[in-house]
Chains A and B, each alone.
Chain A
């Protein structure tokens, strides 16, 4: 790792709230091995005690510290300064902004409550009454990937359906589609969520741009493994006549 100890570094960070929010200049001395969050903390500690920033684990596990660093949505605690300094043109400041898709609160903090509201509308797991569920590791593997989500909401922030078109009332967003996939592909779940995946959660708004997958710090294959799978279920249900007949006769959902 390149040593940055002693280097003076300039930043532009979004400060303030409402109409008064704007980029402000800061400068600090760097230490070895710092991540972006360390720099924000140093500024907060030494210069601006009332600067608002969310963080908890400092290890990429809680998904609190999402921001846009030099225009790229990332976790501040997992973004090494050596990388950011290398990508920033010499003499230029590093720019840190809050996530753009969500209502701004103050400084680097945004209001992400919409994600929680959508989650509330998703039907929970519905499996056998008896304890000691049995399924194998291969079945677990399919779902475990989705459960690695740390709810950083970077994917939601990046998705053009929400970021550019603000279809918050019609589309559940990639994070909650991952949650739906996690339930739908659970080996013992018997709930049927396909109708709402189509209507209420608006899966058809997703046009598979894969931008969400690119920014996911947990490395979840959001588009290919979650969304496309759910899309296929919707297609099978609503556009495949054989399955429609099967369902009418048996009143059962097709197991995969």
Chain B
């Protein structure tokens, strides 16, 4: 039986309408390429809209001592030296112009007293660096790109889900999608495809992500022969809401700590002072007085003369610290830690953190200008993703590009807060530019009927069953399993169990039954997402099992601490004959001039620390 479907032809198809996808499509369309965006939800609703704290770029507005070298250094150091240094270099150098460009497209960032874009402090950034709008920076970014994008002549397919990439030989030639509303099928011929589908954090039960974060782009890439890297590195953000149960995991922006928020345990102790790792020793305040002075200087717009509070250590460090406090019996009533910002006063909180104030008031009945919040770690971001060429963002599959969270390389073992929004606009632009360039010299690929029909068959399969499990049940159980066995702290035994469990989830997903309706049937959509989630969870678990050390967003109870050799090795995930496999590749040696830049910055930071010690005596 052959199914009807509609056909389209484009130069460039961008899958995803978050910051990365919109920026890629704008760039592609500006060069004259016939461009379309396909997105699972409505325009402006992608995950990017939720980003809160800000967008990192060394604009040098808030502190003239900043610059691309310092941003480059901070990103590499935050990544535990596993980031692709070429990407980190492009990012540090190009992000400022990408931010200024947003301003010309209508973004209205918070201002400095000198009338320029203001910047705030965030964990791991040496200087105040995050351009922001209160705590709703993602909204500003996506709305600006959306409002620009609709005037560039881009066709936008809303509530279409791509489930299959078409190929001809080893290159991609298009994709097949179903519509969420009607369950109709659509086949797109494209000379280049840009994946901008975001992340995978729905694979864990406590997460900050929406239903969209099922790893679609990661899976589409893997299935079509592209390589993934760094899949073991998952960022657990230290501060998610922990209570009430229905909001567990929803994010509390790092901006709270950037604005002076203090973390305490049930004994009232500022415990972060006890968790400063050796790598960061000397970079952070050693006393409560020094912390308080830093906050005072920074919020009054002065250059900081002392070191920052330990609450602003990188996310992996803070998440593990909270985890340890809870395990040691010093947690808050609902199993988290206390985060208190009330000392900043109601006026400042309403100005700087309005949506946090609203969120806690409405969802938890807590007034953060008077009481502390309860917070705990939540699965937040995947550093791993499609392995791409730093300059062009093309994967190893010709014609298949990736940018934003679905791509990898910029963040290595750990992403710095604010480095994602800047990643989206920097590499979104590059992906769009090179995807369009490639399309220029190619003929329009023909749509291969047989491939489309077999893709449609896979999509219709769940609806043609007459009985089976509710996909929602499998979905919930799988997420609980990943949370328990491949969470913040990992062991060989548990992950081996997880690999076995994933096999049985794979069998179960293939026999689930969501009912027979094709019209806006969320159960059907979920049934199709299950396969992505099984494969991507397998990829993450396999990589995590292989890396026998702890580094950044990957912590092994059985291998505590970093191991030097692993600092020079990447795990590459690929699919061969339908089986997900892993292999190791050495990290490429950094270019000499960049090594020089790192040295320069290190010396500058050491000098500041020494000055600090001196003035304390």
Residue ranges of A at the interface with B (Cβ–Cβ < 8 Å): 1, 17, 31-35, 38, 44-45, 49-64, 78, 80, 105-107, 109, 112-113, 116, 119-120, 124-125, 127-128, 131-137, 140, 143-144, 147-151, 179, 182-183, 186
Contact = CB atoms under 8 A, between A and B. Distances in A.
Interface stretch (B107-115, B227-235, B604-612): B107-115
A25 B49 CA distance: 34
Nearest to A146: B108
B583 interface: no
Contact of A150 (B139, B364, B470, B476): B139
A59 to B, nearest CB: 5
Nearest to B355: A61
Contacts of A135: 111, 115
B245 interface: yes
Nearest to A134: B115
Contacts of B46: 56
Nearest to B151: A124
A131 B101 contact: yes
Interface of A is mostly: loop
Interface string B325-343: 0000000000000000000
B211 A55 contact: yes
B41 interface: yes
Contacts of A78: 362-363
A137 B522 contact: no
A137 B111 contact: yes
B148 interface: yes
A231 B54 CA distance: 35
Contact of B358 (A53, A60, A107, A136): A60
B514 interface: yes
A183 B470 CA distance: 48
A214 B191 CA distance: 49
A192 B140 CA distance: 23
Interface in B33-80: 41-47, 49-50
B106 A140 contact: no
A148 B158 CA distance: 22
B42 to A, nearest CB: 7
Given A54-B41, A62-B45, A119-B147, A49 B246 contact: no
Given A50-B514, A105-B181, A133 B210 contact: no
A59 B50 contact: yes
A78 to B, nearest CB: 5
Given A60-B358, A135-B111, A147-B133, 11 more contacts: A33-B247, A45-B470, A45-B473, A49-B524, A50-B522, A55-B210, A58-B247, A62-B45, A106-B519, A134-B116, A186-B106
A189 to B, nearest CB: 8
B359 interface: yes
Contacts of A59: 50, 247, 250-251, 359, 363
Contact of A124 (B100, B147, B526): B147
